[in-house]
Structure 1
Amino acid sequence: MPNKNSLPDPRGAVAVVMLAGLLATAGCGTTDLDESATSTTAPVSLIPSGLSWRSWQGIELPVAQQGPRLIEGAVAADFDRSPAGAALAAIHATVRMSVAPDGQWALVGQRMLAPGLGRDKWATARAQVSITSPAAETVPTILGYVIATYTDTEARIDIYATYPDRSITRNSATLVWVDGWRLVLAAPVVESPVTAVDSVPASIVPLNRA
């Protein structure tokens, strides 16, 4: 049994597991958009309504009328089948799969990730590391998102976040509707979905704090 490495800092944890192939899969799904799926008539730039923030593992996550309406430990569920619902699901899934503590990450995989080889490989890799405590520093602040594409069966979301050093990242996530929105993990990994950017785009849907 390999020795487990302690990863208390989520940004450090994300960086390490990405290099190991754990998180580099998020948002790089190989599924094609269903040509029979219909695009939504809901505005993709609509800001989630009733927005509030809840801290989990040291990271502030958005909660709105579009979801999640159910939070059980590390798992967040019941998001609207809408652009805002998909975006909120993408934010929660990418964060929760990254920093779910030991004893809870398997439930995140079962209920928030799309079944397939990518999820299986993520679970195998995740079992080799240990996360036992919330973040203490260098945590991301979620700024907002851009919906790249959306239908009622698949969505591609770019999530923007900033860090205490004022750096900004973009995390590209793909979700499919499987009894709710689920994050697609690719296998094999082609490239990391997280990239550094100089600024957020003008088209961002901002998730402002009160």
Structure 2
Amino acid sequence: MRSRTLVAAAGLAMALAACGTDDAGTEGTEDGPDLTAAPEATWSQMAGIAVPRAEQCPDETDPVEHGYAHTPQCAVIAAMTGQTLLATTGDNTWPQMASTILAPGPGKDQWAQARALMSVEGRVRNPAKFVGFQFTDYSQDRAQVLLAVEWPDGTLTAQPTQLAWQTGDWKLALPTQQTAVDAVELDNLDDFTEFRAD
């Protein structure tokens, strides 16, 4: 499998909307929140990777971006931003990043052990681009979203990203090495909500 430098939940380190108040988690249709609406966002560069931003998504930037409203749209932004932070945060600040955006658990512990053996600095060259998402699970306290990315050679892949709603914020819930799944190649984005910078 070709080397990937952008997204990959726990495997990332091993191998490498308008958002409202807390009640917004129940907005959407009468059956629950709208899981297909793309966030109303602008995009900016983070270490060479385009990431989305929306009102209160994130609400804080110190020590890293965090503080997301309790909506599916902010969960998408938290997932994209979180995966980018995992891939690009430098050696001096990754412990603060991990304690801010990662949910406690064995996946976080394994990631931290692996990250301590790596050195990451600078911008990503020829990065993949986020191009869409699809929720496979969503509730008040957790979410799983497939993030679709396009690589420089035109290949499309999707990787599941798990999140937990803890301490008033969406946090990445990293799987262990034993439970992590590989990214899968996509033929198209037919089953995804397209969400991209360009």
TM-score normalised by the chain length of structure 1: 0.77
Distance 1:193 1:177, change over 3 A: farther
Note if contact 1:48-1:65 (Cα within 8 Å) is conserved in structure 2: no
Note if contact 1:39-1:150 (Cα within 8 Å) is conserved in structure 2: no
Distance 1:12 1:79, change over 3 A: closer
Note if contact 1:46-1:84 (Cα within 8 Å) is conserved in structure 2: yes
Instruction: Trace 1:9-28 onto structure 2 (pairs within 5 A).
Output: 11-12=4-5, 18=11, 21=14
Secondary structure in structure 1 of the residue aligned to 2:123? coil
Query: Counterpart of 2:36?
Result: 45
Distance 1:20 1:199, change over 3 A: same
Pairing partner for 1:60 from 50, 56, 67: 50
Query: Counterpart of 1:131?
Result: 120
Note if contact 2:6-2:83 (Cα within 8 Å) is conserved in structure 1: no
Consecutive unaligned residues in structure 1, runs of 5 or more = 1-9, 24-37
Distance 1:150 1:62, change over 3 A: same
Displacement of 1:85: 1.1
Query: Counterpart of 1:107?
Result: 96
Distance 1:165 1:190, change over 3 A: same
State the identity %: 25
Note if contact 1:39-1:151 (Cα within 8 Å) is conserved in structure 2: no
More moved, 183-192 vs 162-171: 183-192
Secondary structure in structure 1 of the residue aligned to 2:109? helix
Query: Counterpart of 2:67?
Result: 78
Consecutive unaligned residues in structure 2, runs of 5 or more = 17-24
Note if contact 2:11-2:177 (Cα within 8 Å) is conserved in structure 1: no
Pairing partner for 2:135 from 147, 160, 167: 147
Distance 1:152 1:203 in 2: 23
Note if contact 1:156-1:172 (Cα within 8 Å) is conserved in structure 2: yes
Distance 2:7 2:136 in 1: 23
Distance 1:151 1:78 in 2: 18
Query: Counterpart of 1:207?
Result: 195
Note if contact 1:21-1:189 (Cα within 8 Å) is conserved in structure 2: no
Secondary structure in structure 2 of the residue aligned to 1:120? helix
Displacement of 1:78: 1.4
Distance 1:111 1:124 in 2: 17
Distance 1:166 1:190 in 2: 28
Matched positions, count: 182
Deviation per residue, 1:104-144 (Å, 9 max, x gap): 21122101111112111111110101012111x22011102
Query: Counterpart of 1:118?
Result: 107
Instruction: Trace 1:144-183 onto structure 2 (pairs within 5 A).
Output: 144-179=132-167, 180-183=169-172
